[in-house]
Amino acid sequence: MDIRSVIAAQNYAGARPATQADPDHQGAAQGLRATFQDFAATLKHSEQVAQSSMVGQADPHALVQALAQTELAVETAVIVRNKVVEAYQEILRMPV
């Protein structure tokens, strides 16, 4: 057996744990999950305030504030979506 293949096999075996998923690691997936949960919570809160306002239980100022927060959240989501689509299109344009 060639010494280079033995060294390559040893290096591969040593590097293999780096490719395994670490369930305790709080990476980008956790950050995205928290962002989506915050977005959903903002929409839900705004809906509750709007319903309360319709029956006269919430003041108009709270309704305007909730709608402004929702508008900002939706605009942010649209901007992020556009950036993701733009990045995907840029990747598709790359020569192979």
**Sign (positive or negative) of CA dihedral 34, 39, 42, 47:** negative
Q: Compute CA 6 distance to the chain's CA centroid, rounded to the nearest angstrom.
A: 42
CA 31 – CA 83 distance, rounded (Å): 17
CA 33 – CA 39 distance, rounded (Å): 10
| pTM reported for the whole predicted model | 0.62
pLDDT at residue 28 tops 60? yes
pLDDT at residue 88 tops 80? yes
pLDDT, position 36: 87
Region of residue 58 (phi > 0: left; psi between -120 and 50: alpha; otherwise: beta): beta
pLDDT at residue 92 tops 80? yes
pLDDT at residue 26 tops 70? no
pLDDT, position 42: 92
Which tokens hold the place of 47? 């809906």
pLDDT digits (tens, 9 = 90+) for 57-73: 888 898 999 999 999 99
